[in-house]
Structure 1
Amino acid sequence: MEFMKNVWKSAKTDRKIIVLPEGDEDRTLIASEKINKEGLADVILVGSSDIIKAKAKVLGVDIEGIQIEDPETSSNTDKYAEEFYELRKNKGMTKEKALKIVKDPLYYGTMMVKMNDAHGMVSGAVHTTGDLLRPGLQIIKTAPGVSVVSSFFIMMVPNCNYGDDGMLIFSDCAVNPNPTADELASIAIATAETAKNLCKIEPKVAMLSFSTMGSAEHELVEKVRNATKIAKYRRPDLDIDGEMQLDAAIVPKVANQKAPNSKVAGNANVLIFPDLQSGNIGYKLVQRFGRAEAIGPISQGFAKPINDLSRGCSSEDIVNVVALTAVQAQTSK
């Protein structure tokens, strides 16, 4: 796949440190070996050194040269606990509680990113999205000017002319159950920036609905319509349009009938779903019926790159998400 080849190439040009808090998980260990051998990133595994090394031996995985951080014994743990206490003391955090919390591998890994001991983090092979978001929002927080953290999938559809030669970006498919119009506008803008900076494509953003340019009236349609107005007002330099149905967004013939005056309709390569239900269902339909490769979910909006995995991910998925996280770290300020 040409896109991931380019991501790998970019990752290798400026190797970043990526922490994997699920250090003793089988797929993570298998992925770590490949990441290390390919030179995609400098991996740090979090967990018990004895357990990680024993599992690697059973799996036949070579982790020679890969750093292991054990929160129970690391000299960094006290430093991270003190910083976490300072971040959360106004929320009732105590030093004793902070020390206990940062020994959790997810919190420990997030603190590594916060303290610049790692450039990014990837988790989710055994943890939920919520498990990742909690320390992310408490410690890393959102980037300046960003009101909401969201996610996107890069969908690679074989033998497909839609989008950018079969590549489309779907958002938000993993984080926000029912975003407001303002939040939906922020998600659209963030995903457009992702398309430009990470995927290297010129974004044409479609705000999806069951209505196209006023063909139906409903409060759900009105939310998407308002989100489109907000996004256009904030970023008039971006090609964002809606509301529109999926076929009007990607099929030129349908677009000519339903939205003839739109620069986006019929040419969209970024699809913004109105809520999490439709986004999650949409990407899985395309993945299963269209036999597409779904890369993600990748987070956007955090001040530093921390990314989620599907719990059904393969070791190859982990390799790719680590590479993408490394490239995000290269472009993050």
Structure 2
Amino acid sequence: EVAAAYHGLQLKFGPDYIIPTPFDPRLIWYIPPFVAQAAMDTGVARKPIEDMDAYRAQLAQRLDPTAAFLQKLQGSVLSGPKKRVVFAEGEEPSVIRAAYAFQTAGLGEAILVGREELVAENMRTVGLSPEGAGLKVINARVSEHNPEFANYLYERLQRQGYLMRDVQRLVNQDRNTFAACMVALGHADAMVTGVTRSYDQVLDEVLRVIDPAAGGRVMGMSVLLGKGHTLFIADTNVTEMPEAEDLVEIALEAAQAVKALGYTPRLAFMSYSTFGNPMGDRSEKVREAVAMLDEMDLDFEYEGEMPPALALEPERRGNFPFMRLTGPANVLIMPAIHSAAISTQLVQAFGGATVVGPILLGLEKSVQICPLSASVSRILQLATLAAYDHQSQGEAVL
């Protein structure tokens, strides 16, 4: 955050940099607890703070609306077994920063995929010592695992027009393929990528290596945080024009994921139509999906089709006493990918909410794809989700 505020200037503690900059986020959450502790130790404080960790978390939440959501995930990751997360684009400065932050926070072991000399050079550029950073670096071109990865990939792709030399080239030269093979064959527990390539391209590359989970739905789910509310939106990234059957699978996958994140899902199927008025092709798909859910034995609330105001504001439901939602919806199932992506980005652009994700769901292994040119904070968020994701697979397909 400091580097971004100062247009990439690398500030390091020393004779010329002793007092933190005004844009250093640690000024609000890291330093005050030490001052408060000193006040308590010297008897100056009249109201001692009993839980300093809770105080620190409260301060962080004032700075960033994502803090409470992410602290919950980080707490779970920190309390569980440490996972090995491979950062596929390990030569990128932003990825190096995120990987270093991930590992130094104790969230797991970070593995960078890249050429050792270039990774070391970019570490020095961002103010890290290659020797002291403690990050593991793997060069895909010369890795001892290449024959194992190539054989695995050839078994998957030989009937799709790939020759052995084709898959060897992919393993040697494509970092997403190499990193995904690491995860698929147990050399890493999770993967983060996407900073240098488009989401669709990265997802295709990952799916060459890793299958969808049994009964899972590959999809993207964005999390909107703002005004004291947490809202989940799906599908924001994968299925362009879902049919009714697709919407059912999206709803089931989203409900599972939301439960695994510790929330009670209340689903609302979005539409410009309000229970049949007016009707249209997209709203008809939604009606069919709701009817299909009605035939299932489900343990979560759902309703549709409806506009956002009806889903989020119970006081507007006077004309619809039959609605089954007992409170505001917290999961919005969108009728098409364009409506999901546009609405999410519009809210974020106007400052109405902070967006986490999209979270990639439905793969048998833990993979998260960052937006193109994602910030360090965004990469770190998704790395944390990847580590949490793997650890939560017993509860849901994340």
Aligned to 1:18: 85
| Contact 1:181–1:223 (8 Å) recurs in 2 | yes
**Cα distance, 1:283–1:265 mapped onto 2, change above 3 Å:** farther
| Deviation (angstroms), 1:47 | 1.0
Q: Secondary structure at the match of 2:298?
A: coil
Aligned to 2:18: none
CA offsets per residue over residues 147-173 of structure 1, 9 Å max, x none?
x3100111101xx2xxxx410001111
Match of 2:79, as an amino acid?
T
Flag the structure with more relative contact order, 1 or 2, with Cα contacts below 8 A and sequence separation at least 6.
1
CA offsets per residue over residues 30-85 of structure 1, 9 Å max, x none?
11111111011211111101110111111112452211111111101111011100
- Does 2:251 align with 1:188? yes
2:367 to 302, 306, 327: 306
- Counting aligned pairs with the same residue, the percent is 27
The separation in 2 between residues aligned to 1:109 and 1:174, in whole angstroms, is 21
1:2 to 55, 68, 72: 68
**Cα distance, 1:321–1:75 mapped onto 2, change above 3 Å:** same
1:254 to 316, 330, 336: 316
The separation in 1 between residues aligned to 2:311 and 2:150, in whole angstroms, is 49
Match of 1:289, as an amino acid?
F
Aligned to 1:123: 193
| Contact 1:248–1:265 (8 Å) recurs in 2 | no
The separation in 1 between residues aligned to 2:146 and 2:296, in whole angstroms, is 42
CA offsets per residue over residues 98-135 of structure 1, 9 Å max, x none?
10011210000111110011111111111111222113
The separation in 2 between residues aligned to 1:217 and 1:266, in whole angstroms, is 26
Aligned counterparts, 1:1-333, within 5 A: 1-14=67-80, 15-62=82-129, 64-103=133-172, 104-146=174-216, 148-157=217-226, 160=227, 165-198=228-261, 200-257=262-319, 259-264=320-325, 267-333=328-394
The separation in 2 between residues aligned to 1:48 and 1:102, in whole angstroms, is 14
CA offsets per residue over residues 200-242 of structure 1, 9 Å max, x none?
1100000100112122211111011112222343453221211
Larger Rg: 2
**Cα distance, 1:151–1:62 mapped onto 2, change above 3 Å:** farther
| Deviation (angstroms), 1:92 | 2.5
Q: Secondary structure at the match of 2:134?
A: coil
TM-score calculated relative to the size of structure 1: 0.93
TM-score calculated relative to the size of structure 2: 0.79
Name the count of aligned residue pairs: 324
Unaligned runs of 5+ in 2: 1-66
CA RMSD across the alignment: 1.5
CA offsets per residue over residues 283-324 of structure 1, 9 Å max, x none?
112212243110001101111111111124210111111111
Match of 2:350, as an amino acid?
F
Q: Secondary structure at the match of 1:215?
A: coil
Q: Which runs of 4+ in 1 moved over 6 A?
A: none
